[in-house]
Structure 1
């Protein structure tokens, strides 16, 4: 019985992997919560699929967030507005171009549907996709949080 217990404990400990290489070293994951009322003109664009909105209020992420309705119904996505491939600086707050976010520092481009880095250089270096935030529709309000 002791051997079985020891084997299960060992298996459990080996199954719990903590991979710190997946963590983006450039962006802190700041806890926040912000409500977007879809009745307000500022966030009315979120009623249309594929129409991203920049939320630059203090306390929302590091440099704000991009929020977009990604599908029919209550499907929303939210992403950090600071470029994930370098530390925040004067050029790291990205801009919206269609359904993509553009970083003016290196002209990196990211999909606001998937968060994927679209023009990743093929130089062997590690590049990161957008930092994801939770976005949940509650009534007529989208709650974004981390």
Structure 2
């Protein structure tokens, strides 16, 4: 009899698990297909091997993609479009230390969490690490 209660509990746990808990639904940033690799052996991207360093990859996503090293072997990737502004109203965000700063309203978003002081966080992409190569995709 006790085992019968375990089955519904297991099913509830299984359904509630998700690979990606980030809500990327943002009316200001369209859902562009993102799928590219970054070779950290190249001088342009070599600083990504070190914690708290980031680069902006142009011509990806809506306004470029910010790739940021959050720890040894762990990375975040965010769209460089300001998440709380219309896409046409701002240029791409800039990196300022461990934050991305919107050019329109000067709001800073953490590159560790993607959070800022506004309604929408940064639009996040997935990152897979294979040696010195990163694959960024959605």
Shorter chain as normaliser: what TM range? Answer: 0.7 to 0.9
Quote the residue 1:3 is aligned against: none
Quote the residue 1:34 is aligned against: 36
Please give the alpha-carbon distance, in whole angstroms, between the structure 1 residues aligned to 2:76 and 2:110. 11
Quote the residue 1:134 is aligned against: 126
Secondary structure of 2:56's match?
strand
Please give the alpha-carbon distance, in whole angstroms, between the structure 2 residues aligned to 1:87 and 1:38. 32
Rg (Cα) greater in structure: 1
Q: TM-score, normalised by structure 1?
A: 0.75
Q: TM-score, normalised by structure 2?
A: 0.79
| Structure 1 unpaired stretches of 5+ | 1-14, 16-20, 121-126
Please give the alpha-carbon distance, in whole angstroms, between the structure 2 residues aligned to 1:22 and 1:31. 13
Task: Give the deviation of 1:23 after TM superposition.
Answer: 2.1
Secondary structure of 1:39's match?
coil
Please give the alpha-carbon distance, in whole angstroms, between the structure 2 residues aligned to 1:102 and 1:22. 19
Quote the residue 1:10 is aligned against: none
Aligned residue pair count: 120
1:47 to 40, 46, 49: 49
Quote the residue 1:25 is aligned against: 27
| Structure 2 unpaired stretches of 5+ | 1-14, 16-22
Secondary structure of 1:43's match?
helix
